Chains A and B, each alone.
Chain A
Amino acid sequence: MSHVIEMLNIRKEFPGIVANDNITLQVEKGEIHAILGENGAGKSTLMSILFGLYHADRGTIKVRGEEVHIASPNDATDLGIGMVHQHFQLVQTFTVTENIILGKEGGFVLDRKSAAKKIKALSEQYGLSVNPDSVIEDITVGMQQRVEILKMLYRDAEILIFDEPTAVLTPQEIEELMQIMRNMVKEGKSVILITHKLDEIKAVADRCTIIRRGKMVGVVDVASTSQTKMASMMVGRPVNFKVVKEDMEAGKPVLEVKDLNVLNIKKTPAVKNFSLQVRAGEIVGIAGVDGNGQSELVEAITGLRPIVSGSIYINGDDISQASIRERNESGIGHIPEDRQKRGLVMSASLSSNMVIKEYYREPFSKRGILHQDTIDKHAQDICDAFDVRSGEGIFSHAGKLSGGNQQKAIVGREMALEPDLIIAVQPTRGLDVGAIEYIHKRLVEHREKGKAVLLVSFELDEIFNLSDRIAVMNSGELVDVVETKQTNEEEVGLMMAGVRNKEAAL
C-alpha cells in the first residue's frame, strides 16, 4: 500500500511543553484518515508542521514516498497539500471566484471568466453546488466552507486537511460535508480529518490515529473499533457519555420570556417575538446554529442588552427594565459565552474573581470596606468544591489558569450564588472530555435541587444529553419547543435550518 503522507517520529517542543513526542502518521492514498485527540493533545501542532507553519525539532516527512522539507505553506501547496482552517480566510466583500483566485491571479489582466468556468466545473465534479458569482457575505457559513475547499481544489491539492470542520455547521450541512469528503476520496484525493467528535469519525473515516498528551496512542481501523474504545484511548480512562439523569416533575415557571424583541449590534432584529418558559427542576436547551439570536437572547435576559419590546419574568417578577445587579440578585446565574471577555478579570486574582458579583455584600464587605479573609475563604471553598486547579491557589491570576479550570471556577462562582436559574452558554466549549463530564454533572445536580437551567449550545450532543426540553432557534425566532424524549437529532437539525415540524411531516 502506498503512503501519500508519512510523518515519521515527529517531535516538537514549545517552551515548557512537548507538543508532539515521537508521533508517526501514515496516510494512504485515497483514504479518509482521522486524527483524534482532546484539546491540547497536539493535533493542530502536528498538522501545522505538515502545512509548513511550524518546523519539527526531529523526525522526517515524506510525501508520495519522497523525503521533503516543508518550510512554508507555499511549499505545502506546491506539494499538493491543502488545509481548510477552522477560521475561514475569505474576503467578505469579494465574490467566490475572486476569493478563490486570490494569490493565483495569473497574468496582469484578471481572467475571471475562465477562472469561474474552472470553479464551476470543480464544484460540479465534487458535488459542492457553489455559485462562483455569489459574494461571500451573502452566503451561509456552510457554503463559505465549501469555498475554502474549492480554493484547495483549484490549487490542485491532492491531500486535504480539515481542521475541526463541523464546529460551525448544522447537522444537515455536516452530512453534506461528509458526502463531499467521500466524493473527494472517490476522485483519488486523500483527506485528513482533525476532530474530537467520535460519531463523525465513525461515519466517514477509514482509519484513525489517536493522540493523547502529545504522544501517539495508536492507529485503529474505524469500522472494527467501537466509539467507547476510541474514547477511552483518547482520554486514557473509561468515559461516560450518557449523563445520568433522574426523571423529575417540572415545577412552577422560574423564567418566563414573552414576545421578546431585541436588536443586535448592527441595530437589526436579532430576537423576534420570542416566548419561552423554563420551569423549576428542568433543563431547557436552546438549539441552533451560532449567530441565530442566542447570544442576544441571553444578553437581553441578563440585562447586558436593552430590549425593544416584550417582558421577562423571574419567579413572576418583571425584570425587563431592572439593572444587571438587580437581575443577579433576583436569582439569575450566568455562565457567559466568552469566559475570557465576560467571565473573568484575567489580571486579577482568582480570589477577587470569585466574589465579583458579591463583593459589595456582607459578609464580604461592610460599609465599603472589604473583608479579605472572608473573600479568600469563599474562593478557597469554591476551588475545593469544584476542583479548580491553579499554580498559586486562590492568589493565581485568573489568566494563568487553563481553560478548563477557568470554566470550572466560573461555574463554581455561579453555583455558589445558589441562583434559581442558571443560564449556561456554551459551558463546555473548548474543554476536554473530563471537564465536560464534570460540568455536565454539576448542571444536572442543579436541576435536581429543583432549580432551573437554560442551556445554550451549538453542540447537538450536549443539548440532547442534558435537556428535558429543546427550544430551537432560527434567525431570531423560536421554531418550536419539543420534549427531548419525543424527538431526534434529525428533526431538531431540520428545525435548526428553519423547517417547522409540521412542514417537515408533509
Chain B
Amino acid sequence: MKVKIKSNAFLIAVSAVILGLFAGGLLMMSIGSNPFEGFYYLFRGGLMNMERIGNTISTAITLMLVGLSVAFAFKTGLFNIGAAGQMLVGGLCATLVAHYVFIPRPFYLVVIIFCAFLGGALWGVIPGILKAKFNVHEVVATIMMNWIAYWSIYYFVPAYLKGPSLETESKSIAIEQSLRSPWLTEIFGGGYINLGIFVAVGAIFVIKYVLDKTTLGFELKAVGSNRFCAEYAGIKVNRNVVISMMIAGGLAGLAGMTYYTGYSRNIQIGVMPSMGFDGIAVALLGASNPIGVLFSALFFGMLQSGKGFMNAMTEVPPEIADTIIATIIYFTATSVLFSRFWDSVGRKKRDKAQQKIDQDESKEEVSHE
C-alpha cells in the first residue's frame, strides 16, 4: 500500500519550526533578553563541539525511537500515548540484562536489544488486545499502563536493584555492560553518545521498509487509513491492531534501552520519562514518516541539549527551549492551516495554468462544432 505523504508535509514542518522559533524569540524579547544572542547560544550549546554534537545525537536517539513508535501506531490509526510506560519496562528489561548477563559483546548486544524490545512490546500489546477484543480505547489503556509501569518500577528497583547509596535509583551498570562504546566516546570526545545510534537509525530504515515494501505494512496502513475498506477486503483488522501496538511498544522499549543503559546507566524511581511524550511531538513534526522522524528527532535533540548552555551563558531560562518545542507542536498540530495556505499558493499557480488549458480547449470545441 502506497500512501503518499502529503507533498507539503516538509513545508508544513519547516513553517512550524520557523514560527516556533519566532515565537520563542518574541518570548525572549518579552523578558528583556536579546533573542539573537539566545538562539546563538542555544544552537551553540547543541552543536559547538564534537562532545556537544554527541550529546545532541544521544538525546535524539531516544526521541527517534519513541517518535518512531508513535508514528508507527499513527499509521495504523492508533494513538500510542503509552511510550513512557513502554520505555520504562523496556529499560528495566535492558537493565536486568546489563546486570546479570555476561556473554561476548556481539551476543550480548543481541540479547539486550531483544529483551528491551520484548518488554516494550508486552506493554504495548496489552492495550492492543484490549482494543481488539473489548474495544477499550487505546489512549485510556496506554495511559493506565504508564502508571502500572511507573509504580511497578517504584517497588521493583529498591527491592531488587538497590544502589549502594541512593534509595531513589538503581545501582549503576558497569560501563562495559552499557551501550557506551570506547571508540564512539573517543570520536566525540566523551559525552553520552552510545551504540543506540545504530539501533535507532536501523529501526528507522527497517520500519520504513516494512511500511513501504511489505504486505504487513500494506495491511497496517489499510487498516489505519480506512478500517471499513480493510475489513471488506478481507484484512483482519483486529489482528493488525494488536500487531501494530506490539511493534510500537517494542520500539518504545528500545528507546528505554538507549536511555537507561546508554544515555544514563541507572533507572530512577518516581520519574515518568518525559521523552515518552516528547515522542508524540517528534512524530507529529515528522508527519509520521520514518525519515521525517529522523530529522525532527535530531532537531528536538539539539534544542534539548542546547538549552542548558543557553541558560548558562545568558539570562534566558531553559524553559524557553521547552516553550519553543511546545509552540512548534502547536503549529504542527494546527498544520491544517499551513496546508491550506500552501495549497492556496499552489492553486493560484495551477489555476493560471488551467485557465490557459480551458481557453485552448474551448477554442477547440468551437472549431469542432
A and B, one complex?
yes
Which A residues are within 8 Å of any B CB, using their own CB? 15-16, 302, 304, 323-328, 334, 336, 341-349, 351-352, 356-357, 359-360, 365, 368-370, 372, 395, 397
Q: Give 9 closest A-B pairs by Cβ, nearest first.
A: A325-B234, A352-B1, A324-B234, A356-B233, A345-B226, A342-B232, A349-B2, A345-B225, A357-B233
Contact present for B216 and A348 (CB under 8 Å): no
Contact present for A351 and B2 (CB under 8 Å): yes
Kindly report which residue of chain B lies nearest to residue A371, judged by CB atoms.
B213
- Give Cα distance in the complex from A327 to B234, angstroms: 9
CB neighbours (8 Å) of B234 from chain A are 323-328, 357
CB neighbours (8 Å) of A341 from chain B are 226, 228-229
Task: Tell me whether B37 is interfacial, beta carbon within 8 Å.
Answer: no
- Give Cα distance in the complex from A64 to B354, angstroms: 40
Which residues of B in the span 207-242 have a Cβ within 8 Å of any Cβ on A? 213-216, 218, 221-222, 225-226, 228-236
CB neighbours (8 Å) of A344 from chain B are 226, 229
Contact present for B233 and A352 (CB under 8 Å): no
CB neighbours (8 Å) of A336 from chain B are 232
CB neighbours (8 Å) of B233 from chain A are 324, 328, 356-357
Kindly report which residue of chain B lies nearest to residue A15, judged by CB atoms.
B347
Given contacts A341-B228, A342-B232, contact A397 B4 (CB under 8 A): yes
Contact present for B225 and A369 (CB under 8 Å): no
- Give Cα distance in the complex from A22 to B4, angstroms: 40
> How far is the CB of A217 from the nearest CB of chain B, in Å?
13
- Give Cα distance in the complex from A434 to B40, angstroms: 64
Contact present for B215 and A368 (CB under 8 Å): yes
Contact present for A370 and B229 (CB under 8 Å): no
- Interface core residue of B213, B225, B232, B347 (most chain A CB under 10 Å): B232
Given contacts A16-B351, A359-B215, contact A349 B232 (CB under 8 A): no
A341-B229, A347-B225, A349-B2 provided; 20 other pairs, C-beta below 8 A? Answer: A15-B347, A16-B354, A304-B231, A323-B234, A325-B234, A325-B235, A326-B234, A345-B1, A345-B229, A347-B3, A347-B226, A348-B221, A348-B222, A349-B4, A359-B218, A365-B215, A368-B215, A368-B216, A369-B214, A372-B213
Contact present for B2 and A352 (CB under 8 Å): yes
Contact present for B2 and A342 (CB under 8 Å): no
> How far is the CB of B226 from the nearest CB of chain A, in Å?
4
CB neighbours (8 Å) of A357 from chain B are 233-234
Contact present for A370 and B218 (CB under 8 Å): yes
Contact present for A348 and B232 (CB under 8 Å): no
Contact present for B351 and A356 (CB under 8 Å): no
Contact flags B314-358 to A (C-beta < 8 A → 1, else 0): 000000000000000000000000000000000100010010000
CB neighbours (8 Å) of A345 from chain B are 1, 3, 222, 225-226, 229-230
Contact present for B213 and A356 (CB under 8 Å): no
- Give Cα distance in the complex from A50 to B13, angstroms: 44
- Give Cα distance in the complex from A15 to B216, angstroms: 40
Contact present for A356 and B4 (CB under 8 Å): no
Kindly report which residue of chain B lies nearest to residue A18, judged by CB atoms.
B358
CB neighbours (8 Å) of B221 from chain A are 348
> How far is the CB of A333 from the nearest CB of chain B, in Å?
12
CB neighbours (8 Å) of B213 from chain A are 369-370, 372
CB neighbours (8 Å) of B4 from chain A are 349, 395, 397
- Give Cα distance in the complex from A372 to B221, angstroms: 16
Contact present for A368 and B214 (CB under 8 Å): yes
> How far is the CB of B131 from the nearest CB of chain A, in Å?
20
Contact present for B229 and A356 (CB under 8 Å): yes
CB neighbours (8 Å) of B351 from chain A are 15-16
Kindly report which residue of chain A lies nearest to residue B347, judged by CB atoms.
A15
> How far is the CB of A327 from the nearest CB of chain B, in Å?
8
CB neighbours (8 Å) of A324 from chain B are 231-234
- Give Cα distance in the complex from A123 to B214, angstroms: 64
Partner of A370, one of B214, B222, B232: B214
Kindly report which residue of chain A lies nearest to residue B350, judged by CB atoms.
A16
Contact present for B232 and A304 (CB under 8 Å): yes
Contact present for B231 and A348 (CB under 8 Å): no
Supply 19 A–B pairs (Cβ within 8 Å), ascending by A: A15-B347, A16-B347, A323-B234, A336-B232, A341-B228, A342-B228, A342-B231, A342-B232, A343-B232, A344-B226, A344-B229, A345-B225, A352-B3, A359-B1, A359-B215, A369-B215, A370-B213, A372-B213, A395-B4
CB neighbours (8 Å) of B1 from chain A are 345, 348, 352, 356, 359
- Give Cα distance in the complex from A44 to B108, angstroms: 70
CB neighbours (8 Å) of A326 from chain B are 234
> How far is the CB of A463 from the nearest CB of chain B, in Å?
24
CB neighbours (8 Å) of A325 from chain B are 234-235
CB neighbours (8 Å) of A327 from chain B are 234
Contact present for A346 and B226 (CB under 8 Å): yes
CB neighbours (8 Å) of A360 from chain B are 215
Given contacts A15-B347, A356-B222, contact A348 B3 (CB under 8 A): yes
- Give Cα distance in the complex from A345 to B235, angstroms: 13
> How far is the CB of A407 from the nearest CB of chain B, in Å?
14
Partner of B218, one of A304, A347, A352, A397: A352
Which residues of B in the span 1-48 have a Cβ within 8 Å of any Cβ on A? 1-4
- Give Cα distance in the complex from A359 to B4, angstroms: 18
> How far is the CB of B210 from the nearest CB of chain A, in Å?
9
> How far is the CB of A301 from the nearest CB of chain B, in Å?
13
- Give Cα distance in the complex from A357 to B222, angstroms: 11
- Give Cα distance in the complex from A365 to B212, angstroms: 13
Kindly report which residue of chain A lies nearest to residue B355, judged by CB atoms.
A16
> How far is the CB of B294 from the nearest CB of chain A, in Å?
23
- Interface core residue of B1, B230, B231, B351 (most chain A CB under 10 Å): B1
- Give Cα distance in the complex from A336 to B215, angstroms: 24
Given contacts A348-B221, A349-B4, A370-B213, contact A343 B229 (CB under 8 A): yes
Kindly report which residue of chain A lies nearest to residue B214, judged by CB atoms.
A368
- Give Cα distance in the complex from A208 to B290, angstroms: 58
- Interface core residue of B213, B218, B231, B235 (most chain A CB under 10 Å): B218
